[in-house]
Amino acid sequence: MRVDEERFYDSIKALDRERLLSYYVDLHKKYEELLLNKNASDRITTEGVIQFQKLKKDYNEALAKIEQLEKTVKKLSDQLGLKNRAIFGRATEKFIDTLMSSEKPPEEFEDESQKEDCYNSSEEKHTVITLSDYKKQSEKDKCRNNVISPNKSGDKKSGTPEKGNTETSYLSP
């Protein structure tokens, strides 16, 4: 025997029967408590394993469903892309891809104004006219140039300067 066992055996010999029985009953009660705790721990562990297996099964089902949904989304987006190509054509698709791939978005240009500045040298100031006014003035000038006016030769058109006439006409407001 070992030294610690011998000491224990010697200490028990010194005890009487009544005292030994009381120690035995105490030890038996502690053993029953430990056995109850072990059984409760085993039940809790078993329930945990069952819940884990159920969660693992649900997780695998969710992964399979997500994969199926991703395939469906890809299929539908491909169908939508084909439909868009059929409606809008490839040129539009290339234009959109070009816009998306550019680092800087294209700058928006402002529309040119419908008004222009004309410089009037006789008055030394600028006159602003609209495009429609300019077109009307141009049409009037064309009509004047095409009309025959009485002059020395009789065959010159009005609006064409004669030899001595160096006057320049400017648009007026």
Amino acid letter for position 83: K
CA distances from 170 to 124, 127, 129, 148, 158 (A): 12, 10, 12, 22, 16
Beta bridge pairs of residue 120? 125
Euclidean distance between CA atoms 19 and 36, whole angstroms: 26
Question: pLDDT tens, 109-149?
Answer: 555 555 555 555 555 566 667 777 888 888 888 777 765 55
Give 3-14 pLDDT, tens digit per residue: 888 888 888 888
Q: What is the pTM of this model?
A: 0.37
* pLDDT of 24: 92
* Range 67-90 burial, b when 16+ CB lie within 10 A, else e: eeeeeeeeeeeeeeeeeeeeeeee
pLDDT of residue 39 exceeding 70, the answer is yes
